Amino acid sequence: MGERAPLCVGIDPHAALLTEWGLTGNVGGLERFTRTVVEALADRVAALKPQVAFFERFGSRGLAVLERAVADARAAGALVITDAKRGDIGSTMTAYAESFLTPDAPLSSDALTVSPYLGFGSLAPAVDLAREHGRGLFVLALTSNPEGAEVQHAVAADGRTVAETVLDRLAEHNFGAEPLGSLGAVVGATLPPLGDPAAAVSERALTAVNGPLLAPGLGAQGAGAADLPRVFGASLRQVVPTVSRDVLRAGPDRAALRATADRWAGEVRAVLDGAAP
């Protein structure tokens, strides 16, 4: 993550936050919120992660705001991880991938979140386009929402959980890549520590991914930087710590947004430095 803050900040302009900021719940409020976050943070954090749903709810005008935010954030040097959680089959998955992973697409991003729960092979069009254009994917593996356990903790015939099967498929794709492959996993920072019977994945599986691990759940969802070593173990250096509401609630003041992001970055750096070999 270079000299930038080792942090991904979500851009989640949901209705409650617009109200907290004193903004109207329309496209005007959406645009002001989004521009403020991008202007405050795009030149200092490693990545920004806009959640597509909060823009789609305003139709084409909302998507226009998202297009500008993605372009402005990338122009300022931040990586953009578009959080769309797309998952489908065949030509539909291809169309989703083309929307976010091709260089000439209006929403062209550095990485896209995708869902493997129509079968990992259904992601092939997105995998192929990501590789062709030097982009990345973050595949949902072990998410921070409690409902995810219904599917992700289920045990397959070979004894692996579904989540671990997803991680192992990613490891196959990233095998031999240096320093890391471009296919990553979403693994929540709020999960039980490694070794806990409820952890659902092993340290081996996390490390073997050989790709980035997007870790939502810091801040409002209850996880702190100090939890990261317990959840990720030897794969800690692969983690992209992600915080959203805890930073966004500091707005609309740009200085407060930057100060809160800097505080989180300092806590993450201290953890990473403590884990350095």
Show which residues are catalytic. 85
Element holding 240 (H helix, E strand): strand 239-243
Helix (H) or strand (E) holding 260: helix 254-275
Contacts of residue 35, defined as CB under 8 A and 6 or more positions apart, other chains included, come to 68, 69, 72
Token code pair at residue 34: 């989004």
Q: Which SS3 state, helix, strand or coil, does residue 220 take? A: coil
CA distance 12 to 69: 12
Closest alpha carbon to 230 in 191, 276, 272: 191
How many residues are there in the chain? 277
Q: Give the CA angle between residues 62, 63, 67 to the nearest 5°.
A: 125
Listed residue (231, 142, 244, 226) closest to 184, CA to CA: 142
CA atoms within 13 A on the CB side of 82: 31
| Cα–Cα distances in angstroms (integers) from residue 76 to residues 4, 10, 106, 200, in the given order | 12, 16, 17, 38
* Cβ pair 49, 83 in contact under 8 A: yes
